[in-house]
Amino acid sequence: MLGYTYNLNNDAVKTRSGSGSYMTIPTGFYQTDITTAFVDLVFKYRGWSVLSEIAERSAESPIVTQADGMATGDIVNTGQAINAQIGYLFNNNVEVAGRFSSISYDNVVGKASPKQYTLGVSKYIVGHKLKVQADLTKSVLDDQDEEVMLRTGFEFHF
């Protein structure tokens, strides 16, 4: 399955298009056109799964300025993001997956660009109604090691 979504938020007043903080100026709200595009891919075949999401956000005027041209400090979060995963489900209902996630902010945003590398394992006990999961994630911020996280959990649906 392949999907594409395009969103144009005409005269947006929040830093993340329809969400985020309001962009205010002394006369009210700052408005700019913000576009966001998403491409999603889901492919499954004989136990293999490949999932990918790519997003890109741009703004007509990402730096919030007052009538006199002075910047307020608010900036639209523009840039690109990717989330990609590959996994394999064995016959014993154990799945192993590797995932890569990254956000690359545009230079004007002035935020560090986070990346995460994850290795996960899931055990499906009763189909998708009961499963146990664990994963190990390494976080990197602007090419500097940040932290390593171990997460465990279970899902129970009835």
Q: Band of the pLDDT at 73, cuts 50, 70, 90? A: confident
pLDDT tens-place string over residues 82-105: 999 999 999 999 999 999 999 999
Residues 6+ apart with CB under 8 A from 29: 13, 22, 23
User: What was the pLDDT predicted at 96?
Assistant: 98
State the number of CA atoms in the 13 A half-sphere of 8 facing the CB.
3
pLDDT tens-place string over residues 139-154: 999 878 889 999 999 9
Tell me if residue 39 falls in helix, strand or coil.
Answer: strand
Is the whole model's pTM more than 0.95, yes or no? Answer: no
Domain ranges of the chain: 2-112
How far apart are the C-alpha atoms of 25 and 136, rounded to whole Å? 43
